[in-house]
C-alpha cells in the first residue's frame, strides 16, 4: 500500500525567532508536492566500446552525480539502492516493474540509463518510467567529452526535475557558483565552480584582493570588486569570452557591487562627495547614468536587488549598529526590515520576493548565523545554528536552496542547504573560500 506521507518540505525545521513550533507554523519551500514522490534511480550501465576503463570511470561519475543531484533537489524521496533488485538493467526490455513496487522501494518513477564511449565522445541515453503503469514517461540523449560526464548527469537531473514537477522547477544541477578563494594569505581571487564544487575555474589571477562577485543573469556577466590597480574598483567580466568590460566609477571609492535582475544596472557602495560616507549608488553596466540612492551620515553598503528590480535591500548602521533596510529604486520608501538589534549583514533577496536571507549576530550572541526575514510580515526565521560563523547567504535561482560560507570546521568553506535549513553540506574543503554568489539559469 502506498504510504501517503505529506511532503511538507521544511516542516518543523524553521520556526519564528523566539517562538515554539506550536506558536508559529514552519516556513515551507514553495512549490511543494501534495504528497511524497518516490524516484528509484537504477545504476547507469556501460555499453561496449574499446576503452572499458575510461568508460567505467565516466559511468561512475554519471551515477554519483545523478544520485546527488536528485537527492538534493528537495522534491523527491530516493529509496536506498540496497533495496533495489539485484540484477542490473542492461536493456529496457529487462525491466520488471513489479520488482520496483515492493514495500521497501514502492517507487512512483524509475530512472534508467546507458552510456557508451566512441571516438572520444561519451553518449548517454536516459529514460524515466511510470512504475505504476509500466509506461515510458520521457527520455533524453546527451553527448559530450568523457570528462564532462558530471555535467551530462546534471543536465539529465535537471530535466527529470523539470518533467516530474510539471515545470514548477528547472532544477539547479547545471548552475554555477562564483566565490572568493584565498590561495595564500593577503590576496583573494574570484573563482567559478559547478554547484556541487566541481570544475573549478579562475576568473582572476592578479595576486591582489578580488571580492564580492555578483552575477548579471541573462547576459553572462560577473561583476566584482578588485584592487588590481591599487584602489578598489568594479570590474565586469564576460563569462562568454573572458573579456573585461569597462565600468567607470569616476573618482569614487567603491565597494560591494550588485547586478540588477535585468543585467543592465549595478548598485554599489561609494563614498558620497557631500558627506564622505559610503552611500548607495546605481549606474549602468558601463558606469554611465549614475545616481545616488542614499545620502545619509552613515555607512550604507551590501546592496541586493528584489526580483522585480524595483527595490534594493542593503546594510546600514544609521541606527547605530548594522541592520537590514530596503529602499525603492528611485531612493524613496526607506524601510527597516530587521529591528531586533545585534549585527545584521550580507542580505540577499529571494527569487520569489518573499524573503531576504541575511547573516545575523543577535544581541548577546557571539557568532553569525543565517536567517530569513519575511519581507511582508517582518517575521524572522533561523536556518543555521552551528558553532562558528555562518555568513554571506546566496539564493539559488529556484528559490529552494542557499549557498553560504561557514568556518564551523576551522577554515571558511562554501556550504549548501535547502531553504528550510536542512541538508547542509560543504562543497569546498581546502584553502579559504567565501562570499558565494549563485548564478541564474544559463550562466
Grade residue 6 by pLDDT with cuts at 50, 70 and 90: very low
Q: Does residue 131 lie in a domain region?
A: yes
Is 79 in the same domain as 207? no
Closest by Cα among 247, 252, 199 to 224: 247
181 and 111 fall within a common domain: no
pLDDT at 16: 33
Count CB neighbours of 4 within 10 A.
9
pLDDT for the residue numbered 150: 97
pLDDT: is 289 or 119 the higher one? 289
Q: Tell how strand 109-118 and strand 39-41 pair up.
A: parallel
Task: Provide the number of structural domains found in the chain.
Answer: 2
Q: Is the pLDDT of residue 443 over 90?
A: no
Indicate whether 2 belongs to any domain.
no
Mean pLDDT of 301-306: 97
Residue 434 or 239, more confident: 434
Same domain, 222 and 139: no
End residue of a domain, out of 144, 164, 184: 164
27 domain residue, yes or no: no
Q: What pLDDT shows up at residue 28?
A: 61
In this structure, the answer to whether residues 363 and 255 fall within a common structural domain is yes
Q: What is the pLDDT of residues 42-84, one digit of tens each?
A: 999 999 777 889 999 999 999 999 999 999 999 999 999 999 9
pLDDT at 165: 94
Instruction: Tell me, yes or no, whether 32 lies in a domain.
Output: no
Assess whether pLDDT exceeds 60 at residue 86: yes
pLDDT of 33 above 80: no
In this prediction, residue 21 has a pLDDT band, given cuts at 50, 70 and 90, of: very low
Strands 278-284 and 311-316: unpaired
Q: What average pLDDT does range 1-5 have in this prediction?
A: 31
Half-sphere exposure of 126 (CA within 13 A, CB side): 25
- Mean pLDDT (the chain) is 90
Predicted local distance difference test score (pLDDT) of residue 257: 96
pLDDT reported for residue 253: 83
Type and span of the H or E element at 281:
strand 278-284
Q: pLDDT, tens digit, for every residue of 379-410?
A: 999 999 977 999 999 999 999 999 999 999 99
> Considering Cα of 171, then 74, then 196, then 203, what sign does the dihedral take?
positive
- Write the CB contacts of 93 (distance below 8 Å, at least 6 apart in sequence): none
- The 10 Å Cβ neighbour count of residue 266 is 28
Is 147 within a domain? yes
**Is residue 213 pLDDT above 70, yes or no?**
yes
Give residue for cell 536493456.
91
Regarding whether 385 and 330 lie in a shared domain, the answer is yes
- E strands, 45-147, in order: 45-46, 109-118, 121-130, 135-144
Contacts of 393 (CB under 8 A, 6+ apart): 346, 348, 357, 358, 359, 370, 383, 402, 403, 404
Task: Give the residue numbers spanning the domain of 140.
Answer: 39-164
Quote the CA–CA distance of 9 and 63 in Å, as a whole number.
25
Please tell me the predicted confidence (pLDDT) of residue 135. Answer: 97
pLDDT band at 351 (very low <50, low <70, confident <90, very high): very high
Ranking 11-25, 47-61, 131-145 by mean pLDDT, the lowest is: 11-25
Residue 429 has pLDDT above 90, yes or no: yes
161 phi and psi angles, rounded to 5 deg? -60, -45
Comparing C-alpha atoms, which of 71, 80, 130 is closest to residue 104?
80
Residue 316's CATH number: 2.120.10.30
Are residues 281 and 317 both part of a single domain?
A: yes
Asked if 157 and 190 sit in the same domain, the reply is no
As a whole number of angstroms, the distance between CA 301 and CA 280 comes to 6
Whole-number Å distance between alpha carbons of 261 and 284 = 13
Whole-angstrom CA distances from 33 to 30, 219, 252, 294 are 9, 32, 50, 43
310 shares its domain with 277: yes
Torsion of the alpha carbons at 311, 317, 323 and 324, rounded to the nearest 10: 10
264 plus 215 within the same structural domain: yes
Amino acid at each position: 500500500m502506498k504510504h501517503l506521507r505529506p511532503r511538507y518540505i521544511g516542516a518543523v525545521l524553521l520556526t519564528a525567532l523566539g517562538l515554539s513550533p506550536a506558536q508559529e507554523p514552519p516556513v515551507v519551500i514553495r512549490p511543494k508536492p501534495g504528497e511524497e514522490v518516490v524516484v528509484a534511480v537504477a545504476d547507469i550501465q556501460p555499453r561496449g566500446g574499446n576503452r572499458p576503463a575510461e568508460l567505467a570511470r565516466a559511468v561512475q561519475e554519471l551515477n554519483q552525480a545523478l544520485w546527488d543531484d536528485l537527492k538534493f533537489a528537495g522534491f523527491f524521496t530516493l529509496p536506498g539502492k540496497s533495496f533495489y533488485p539485484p540484477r542490473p538493467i542492461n536493456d529496457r526490455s529487462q525491466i520488471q516493474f513489479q520488482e520496483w513496487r515492493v514495500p521497501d522501494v514502492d517507487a512512483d518513477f524509475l530512472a534508467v540509463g546507458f552510456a557508451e564511449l566512441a571516438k572520444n565522445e561519451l553518449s548517454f541515453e536516459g529514460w524515466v518510467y511510470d512504475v505504476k503503469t509500466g509506461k515510458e514517461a520521457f527520455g533524453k540523449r546527451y553527448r559530450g567529452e568523457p570528462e564532462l560526464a558530471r555535467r551530462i548527469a546534471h543536465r539529465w537531473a535537471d530535466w527529470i526535475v523539470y518533467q516530474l514537477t510539471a515545470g514548477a522547477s528547472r532544477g539547479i544541477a547545471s548552475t554555477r557558483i562564483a566565490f572568493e578563494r584565498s590561495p595564500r594569505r593577503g590576496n583573494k581571487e574570484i573563482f567559478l565552480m559547478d554547484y556541487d564544487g566541481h570544475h573549478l575555474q579562475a576568473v582572476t589571477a592578479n595576486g591582489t584582493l578580488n571580492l564580492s562577485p555578483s552575477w548579471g543573469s541573462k547576459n553572462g556577466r560577473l561583476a566584482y570588486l578588485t584592487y588590481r590597480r591599487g584602489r578598489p574598483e568594479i570590474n565586469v567580466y564576460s563569462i562568454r569570452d573572458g573579456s573585461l568590460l569597462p565600468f567607470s566609477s569616476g573618482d569614487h571609492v567603491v565597494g560591494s557591487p550588485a547586478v540588477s535582475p535585468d543585467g543592465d544596472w549595478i548598485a554599489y557602495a561609494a563614498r558620497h562627495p557631500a558627506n564622505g560616507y559610503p552611500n548607495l549608488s546605481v549606474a549602468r553596466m558601463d558606469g554611465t547614468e549614475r545616481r545616488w540612492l542614499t545620502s545619509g551620515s552613515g555607512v550604507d553598503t551590501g546592496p541586493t536587488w528584489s526580483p522585480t528590480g524595483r527595490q534594493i535591500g542593503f546594510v546600514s548602521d544609521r541606527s547605530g549598529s548594522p541592520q537590514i533596510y530596503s529602499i525603492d529604486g528611485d531612493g524613496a520608501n526607506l524601510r527597516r526590515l530587521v529591528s531586533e538589534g545585534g549585527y545584521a549583514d550580507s542580505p540577499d533577496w529571494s527569487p520569489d520576493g518573499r524573503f531576504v536571507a541575511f547573516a545575523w549576530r543577535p544581541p548577546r550572541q557571539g557568532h553569525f548565523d543565517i536567517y530569513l526575514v519575511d519581507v511582508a510580515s517582518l517575521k524572522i526565521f533561523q536556518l543555521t545554528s552551528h558553532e562558528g560563523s555562518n555568513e554571506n547567504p546566496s539564493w539559488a535561482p529556484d528559490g529552494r536552496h542557499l549557498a553560504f560560507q561557514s568556518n564551523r570546521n576551522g577554515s571558511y568553506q562554501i556550504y549548501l542547504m535547502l531553504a528550510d535549513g536542512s541538508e547542509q553540506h560543504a562543497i569546498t574543503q581546502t584553502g579559504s573560500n567565501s562570499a558565494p554568489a549563485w548564478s541564474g539559469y544559463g550562466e
